[in-house]
Each structure stands twice: as structure tokens, then as C-alpha cells.
């Protein structure tokens, strides 16, 4: 819940220009609903994509204040964040609600970015694996392998969001490996292994290179650092560097 229209246009333009030399990294900007049309115009003709921060599970109806996946697609969004921890915490979203939203997003041509993550209490209790397995499993329940192939996943440890704390690269890699196993339970490895799994807990320029260097971390879901174009572009650069390094190692 940040930026006026003018601020959103300026931020999107600065990110667009800063990413010109970073071909090969998929970049999606997810502004507030009020700025979607304005940012879509700024991104037109560039490789950057438009995303939304949430969507309802119905295409239309008497749901005052909500925005449907049909409306998001109409304004140019291609990706939608679903099940973000702030939605779960502040608005009571359950795993069942996230499951319905994932189905709606897929049905209307959007890429669902499914967020999962544990609280500090759950990590202290040693239940991280069980929590994220349950969250992702419920979100993808009844989806076909082809639909799984269209989904993205984000691991966002709740204890790291907005706190300045960050999972260590090793902690992130461990959970990402668990999530990959869950995906393989829904689709063949050739499909499941192609689904991007992003890290989303207080990622910033100072820690992005170490996180992106982990083989199981395919990118980042960036929060506060995305409000400063220079910081966000540095994170994209870290992803680009990791991609180049991985390609060199493969050769």
C-alpha cells in the first residue's frame, strides 16, 4: 500500500530503464490496484511484466471492494501474488481461500505466485517443513500437471518480513528443496522442476547475491527494497549475475 500515481509511474520508469541491460531475468512489477493501468502504460514495449498483489476467487459478483482475475487480466496483469503472509495475518486468509484464488487465477490466464512461510514460533517448534508443505499442498490441491507448470512459488518466512531479519542462504535452500519435493508430488519432475521458487523474506541488495547463488533459489519476491529503484535493480542484477554464473558452470 505505497505510492501515488505519479510516484508509481516514476518508480516503474526508473526500474524499466535500470533493467535494460539485464536481459534474461524475468522482472514483474506489482503495484497497488490503483496504479495498475498507469504502470502498464510505463512498461508497454519493455520486457518487464505487470503483476497484481491479490485477486478474488470469483470472476465477478457482489464482492464490494474486491478485484477479480478478469479485471486484472483486462488491465494487463500477467502475474498475481496469492496467499501473501500479510493477507493471511491481517485479513484472515486461509489455505482454502488461497486454493480458490489459485484456481481462479489459472482459469483466467494469470500466473499465480503462491506464497508460503512459517512464523517465528513455528520455526522455533521445528515445524517449518510441515507448515510449508501443508500450505503449498493445499494451495495446489486438485490442480493438473499442466496447471502446476504455470505456477510460481515464493518462500517468505513470516519472521523475516519487515523485521530486517533474513533467512540464511542455507535455511532458504533447505526450504526451497522441500517445496520442490511438494511440486514433484503434483507433476512430473520435468514440469515441477521448471516452476520458479522465489525467496521473499527481507531480501535486499546486501544479501541478494548470497541468496541468488543458492541453486534452489530461482529469484526474489522483493518487498521494501522495491520502493527504491536503485535497490531493486541491484537485486535484479544479483539474479542476472547468478544466472550467468550458473550458465558458465554448466558449460
Q: Active-site residue 84, yes or no?
A: yes
Cα 167 to Cα 124: distance, rounded to the nearest angstrom: 13
Cα 221 to Cα 152: distance, rounded to the nearest angstrom: 11
Cα 92 to Cα 196: distance, rounded to the nearest angstrom: 26
The backbone torsions φ and ψ at residue 151, rounded to the nearest 5 degrees and listed phi first, read: -95, 150
Q: Quick: pLDDT tens for 54-72.
A: 999 999 999 999 999 999 9
Determine which one of 56, 118, 156, 176 is catalytic: 156
Q: How confident is the model at residue 244 (pLDDT cuts 50, 70, 90)?
A: confident
Cα 186 to Cα 140: distance, rounded to the nearest angstrom: 8
Average pLDDT over residues 32-59: 98
Average pLDDT over residues 94-107: 98
pLDDT of res. 200: 95
- Domains of the chain (ranges; CATH) run 5-250 (3.20.20.70)
Residue entry with cell 520442490:
180
Cα 217 to Cα 197: distance, rounded to the nearest angstrom: 6
What is the secondary structure of 73-88 as a DSSP string? HHHT--EEEES-HHHH
| CA 5 vs CA 37, 40, 42, 139: distances in Å | 10, 12, 11, 33
- Residue 231, pLDDT > 80, answer yes
Q: Quick: pLDDT tens for 4-38.
A: 999 999 999 999 999 999 999 999 999 999 999 99
Q: How confident is the model at residue 235 (pLDDT cuts 50, 70, 90)?
A: very high
Contact 55, 110 (CB under 8 A): yes
Percentage of the chain exceeding pLDDT 70? 98
pLDDT of res. 250: 57
What is the average pLDDT score of the chain? Answer: 95
The backbone torsions φ and ψ at residue 222, rounded to the nearest 5 degrees and listed phi first, read: -95, 130
Which runs of E-coded beta strand occur in the chain? 28-29, 49-52, 79-82, 111-116, 152-155, 197-199, 219-220
Determine which one of 84, 93, 118, 147 is catalytic: 84
Q: Active-site residue 90, yes or no?
A: no
pLDDT of res. 248: 55
Amino acid at each position: 500500500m505505497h505510492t501515488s500515481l505519479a510516484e508509481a509511474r516514476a518508480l516503474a520508469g526508473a526500474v524499466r530503464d535500470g533493467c535494460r541491460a539485464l536481459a534474461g531475468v524475468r522482472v514483474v512489477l506489482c503495484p497497488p490496484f490503483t496504479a495498475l493501468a498507469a504502470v502498464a502504460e510505463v512498461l508497454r514495449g519493455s520486457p518487464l511484466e505487470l503483476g497484481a498483489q491479490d485477486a478474488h476467487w470469483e470472476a465477478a459478483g457482489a464482492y464490494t471492494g474486491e478485484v477479480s482475475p478478469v479485471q486484472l487480466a483486462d488491465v494487463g496483469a500477467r502475474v498475481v501474488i496469492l496467499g501473501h503472509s500479510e493477507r493471511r495475518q491481517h485479513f484472515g486468509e486461509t489455505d482454502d481461500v488461497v486454493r480458490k484464488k489459485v484456481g481462479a487465477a489459472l482459469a483466467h490466464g494469470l500466473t499465480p505466485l503462491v506464497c508460503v512461510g512459517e512464523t517465528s514460533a513455528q520455526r522455533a517448534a521445528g515445524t517449518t517443513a510441515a507448515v510449508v508443505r501443508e500450505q503449498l499442498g493445499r494451495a495446489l490441491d486438485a490442480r493438473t500437471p499442466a496447471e502446476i507448470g504455470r505456477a510460481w512459488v515464493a518462500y517468505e518466512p513470516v519472521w523475516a518480513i519487515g523485521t530486517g531479519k533474513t533467512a540464511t542462504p542455507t535455511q532458504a535452500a533447505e526450504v526451497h528443496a522441500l517445496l520442490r519435493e511438494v511440486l514433484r508430488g503434483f507433476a512430473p519432475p520435468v514440469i515441477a522442476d521448471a516452476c520458479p521458487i522465489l525467496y521473499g523474506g527481507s531480501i535486499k541488495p546486501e544479501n541478494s547475491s548470497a541468496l541468488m547463488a543458492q541453486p534452489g533459489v530461482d529469484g526474489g519476491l522483493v518487498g521494501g527494497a522495491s520502493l527504491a529503484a536503485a535497490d531493486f535493480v541491484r537485486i535484479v542484477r544479483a539474479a542476472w549475475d547468478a544466472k550467468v554464473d550458473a550458465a558458465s558452470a554448466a558449460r
